[in-house]
A = this chain, B = another copy of it.
Amino acid sequence: MEPVSPPPKADKNISKATFRRLPHYHQIASTYEGIGRKYISSKELSQILQINETLVRKDMADLEIRGRQNLGYEIQTMRKMIEDYLGLQEITEALIVGAGHLGKALALYHGFEPYGLRIVGLLDNDPEKIGTSVGPYEVLSVFRLASIVERHRIKLIILTVPKSAAQEVTDIAVAAGVRAVWNFTPTELRVPEGVYVRNEQIIAGFMTLSYFLKSISENEGAGK
């Protein structure tokens, strides 16, 4: 589930819609940079994102990314400015709580490093999992959550526990100093003011796909 709005501290100069498009712009910039392109035009960006070119120009102006006549926006500058704006050039250390399938997959995912996200540990409450290895990590007892958060000043936890444990783990982590929760459980968490929860509801993506497949099935009378 995407959050209904950007985090509370979001910049007043950037609209919610622009904020939501930042990961798209960043991905396009990274992809194009990877194949050796130097510039990209607002027209090309508007075609890839299927939005109006005027909107692309406004987004870039709001982000203070300036284009060059007949060339467009310098791709590397665009990528770096978005990274700077989002704080991706700083290292963010995070603990994963819940060493199930999803927790392990996230611990082993190689795509986080370039964005400054460093997984520093993986916790679980299952005695059969504690002490086992997941890639470079040894699964630690969830009873150590508070002390690890305090000692290493961890600000972010990645929550992949069962739904029934989600609120309790959050309460303990927040009391120990965590300020942000990346919530992969299908739970609406209660947190005090000043703590931000980002909900990832994987099923939301499927709902959109299901709607599309239902529509074509009805329109084309297919698949029956």
Residues in chain A within 8 A of chain B (CB atoms): 1-10, 19-24, 26-28, 30-31, 48-51, 85-88, 90, 92, 101-102, 104-105, 108-109, 111-112, 115-117, 153, 155-156, 179-180, 182, 186-188, 194, 196, 198, 200-217, 219, 223
- In the complex, chain B residues whose CB is within 8 Å of the CB of A26: 207
User: What's the number of copies of this chain in the assembled complex?
Assistant: 2
User: In the complex the two chains form, is A112's CB within 8 Å of B206's CB?
Assistant: yes
User: In the complex the two chains form, is B22's CB within 8 Å of A1's CB?
Assistant: no
Q: Assuming the A-B contacts A20-B2, A49-B4, A115-B210, are A223 and B155 also in contact, with contact meaning beta carbons closer than 8 angstroms in the complex?
A: yes
- Within 8 Å by CB of A198, from B24, B153, B205, lies B205
The 3 closest A-B pairs by CB, nearest first: A87-B214, A9-B215, A23-B204
